[in-house]
């Protein structure tokens, strides 16, 4: 039989699970690199979700094709960014921020050619925001972050050129 002291100390009782400690942010990176990683992730998620919506709702085949390509590029980039952030122990968002969710909600209500035009406008706005983050990352002293951001800027340039060629 256990004594009162043993019971109150938990001896012989069910194992109590220790709470999982929250991950600590890395001190291995600069504040600007931390800002880049945490800002770019929701922007990439927004571009991917805008494109996913357009793959389903766009009326012109050219916009559907652009959306599918952008979706692949941005989901791939988001996965690489998550891995890069994980290397330095920085948690990143996997979904758009609140402003991005509002854009998605508004776009989801549009139909027909209006949808296609609004998608391309929203994509351009999201690309502008992502470009600012990528430019910050491109000036990083961390070689991997710098290379990732520079490649992302190249991808954005290609996306914009494809949209320009659509002529919509």
Give the start-to-end residue ranges of the domains of the chain.
30-166
pLDDT means per 10 residues, the chain with 168 residues, are 42 49 56 93 95 96 95 95 93 94 96 95 94 95 94 94 84
Compute how many other C-beta atoms are within 10 angstroms of the C-beta atom of residue 22.
7
Residue with tokens 């050619």: 113
Q: CA 166 to CA 58: how far, in whole Å?
A: 13
What is the model's pLDDT at position 14?
A: 47
What is the model's pLDDT at position 17?
A: 53
pTM of the model: 0.79
Q: CA 166 to CA 168: how far, in whole Å?
A: 6
What is the model's pLDDT at position 129?
A: 94
DSSP category for residue 92: -
What is the model's pLDDT at position 11?
A: 46
> Fold for domain 30-166?
Ferritin (1.20.1260)
**3-class state of residue 28 by DSSP:** coil
């Amino acid at each position: 039989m256990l004594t009162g002291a043993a019971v109150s100390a938990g001896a012989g009782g069910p194992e109590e699970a220790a709470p999982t400690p929250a991950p600590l942010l890395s001190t291995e990176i600069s504040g600007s690199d931390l800002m880049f990683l945490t800002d770019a992730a929701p922007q990439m998620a927004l571009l991917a979700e805008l494109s996913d919506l357009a793959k389903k709702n766009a009326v012109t085949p050219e916009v559907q094709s652009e959306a599918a390509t952008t979706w692949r590029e941005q989901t791939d980039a988001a996965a690489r960014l998550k891995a890069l952030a994980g290397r330095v122990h920085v948690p990143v968002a996997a979904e758009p921020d609140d402003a991005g969710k509002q854009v998605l909600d508004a776009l989801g209500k549009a139909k027909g050619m209006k949808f296609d035009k609004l998608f391309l406008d929203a994509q351009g706005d999201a690309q502008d925001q992502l470009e600012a983050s990528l430019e910050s990352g491109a000036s990083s002293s961390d070689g991997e972050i710098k290379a990732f951001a520079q490649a992302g800027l190249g991808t954005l340039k290609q996306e914009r050129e494809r949209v320009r060629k659509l002529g919509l």
